[in-house]
Amino acid sequence: MGETGKEEYKIQSFDSETQKLLKTALKDPSNVDLEKVANIIVDQSLKDSVFSKEAGRICYTIIQAESKQVGQSIFRRSLLNRLQQEYKDREELRSRSLQAWICYVTFICNIFDYLRVNNMPMMALVNPVYDCLFRLAQPDSLQKEEEVSCCLLSCQGPVKSTAWGVHRSLHCFVLSHLLFLLKVDCLVLQLHRIGEQLEKMNSQRMDELFSLLRDGFLLQEGLSSLSQLLLLEIIEFRAAEWKMTDAAQKYYYSEVTD
């Protein structure tokens, strides 16, 4: 499957009218409202975790096409404006929906990865991206999530019986751990993809981020084994200068044989 095939795959989750709009934006950008297109892409990224991981490529293609066809950057400006707006309101977004917030982090990191100026990442995105990753790494997050999910559940109605109470507590527990894992997973995935470039742009903040990760690892109680595994792997990965040693590859990614 070639480049075009891949682009089409990403668009399939939209309705047919939007698909048509996006296809035009990719091939003939001067004929569509590019601000609208930017908003459609950001809106979808905040809802769809798969799309948020790949949206950088489609944005890059539209930017290239617009620059080639009309020598302008309306799409790029609209995209960055919208990203900045969401960045400003990130705490609101986060409290409204943890999943949307994780999608946002994934999306902004993907944009950081794809949008380049003279083959360098965009300086303006460095600090927003770091801020998002720091927020994901914050050690108080596990407890907060627990509170949030418990609150959510307690809104569903009064306790009906002890068994129901126990069931709800268990639900809280599982949910809070899943949410936490989702965040660690997102953090680690982003660091795998853009950690090296990000460190080149500002190594001091990367040092601080990894201090936070080590703290989380060493001091945070109740981390699941899987979260610990993900964190240990990224700590080793960075120590080896963002490379995977053969031994680490074998340890973390081979199936258990015995």
Provide the 3-class DSSP secondary structure of residue 117.
strand
Q: Segment near a second copy (CB under 8 A), from 35-43, 141-149, 161-169, 204-212?
A: 204-212
Nearer to a second copy, 155 or 218 (CB): 218
Nearer to a second copy, 246 or 255 (CB): 246
Residue 128 · residue 111 · CB < 8 Å: no
Residue 106 · residue 53 · CB < 8 Å: yes
Position among 210, 222, 255, 256 found at the interface with a second copy (CB under 8 A): 210
Greatest CA separation for the chain: 67
Position among 3, 17, 140, 241 found at the interface with a second copy (CB under 8 A): 241
Told to check if 200 binds a second copy by CB under 8 A, we report no
Told to check if 207 binds a second copy by CB under 8 A, we report yes
Told to check if 43 binds a second copy by CB under 8 A, we report no
Query: How far is CA 182 from each of CA 17, 95, 106, 154, 189, rounded to the nearest angstrom?
Result: 33, 16, 12, 22, 10
Residue 104 · residue 92 · CB < 8 Å: no
229 φ, ψ (degrees, to nearest 5): -60, -45
Told to check if 249 binds a second copy by CB under 8 A, we report no
Position among 219, 256, 257, 258 found at the interface with a second copy (CB under 8 A): 219
Told to check if 222 binds a second copy by CB under 8 A, we report no
Told to check if 163 binds a second copy by CB under 8 A, we report no
Q: Segment near a second copy (CB under 8 A), from 8-16, 91-99, 164-172, 200-208?
A: 200-208
Told to check if 229 binds a second copy by CB under 8 A, we report yes
Q: End-to-end distance of the chain based on CA atoms, in angstroms?
A: 38
179 φ, ψ (degrees, to nearest 5): -60, -45
Position among 6, 47, 96, 250 found at the interface with a second copy (CB under 8 A): 250
Residue type, 18: T
CA distance 216 to 228: 9
Told to check if 30 binds a second copy by CB under 8 A, we report no
Q: CB count, 10 Å around CB of 157?
A: 9
CA distance 176 to 99: 13
Q: Segment near a second copy (CB under 8 A), from 24-32, 36-44, 45-53, 215-223?
A: 215-223
Binding site for a second copy (CB under 8 A): 203, 206-207, 210-211, 214, 217-219, 225, 228-229, 232, 235-237, 239-241, 245-248, 250-251
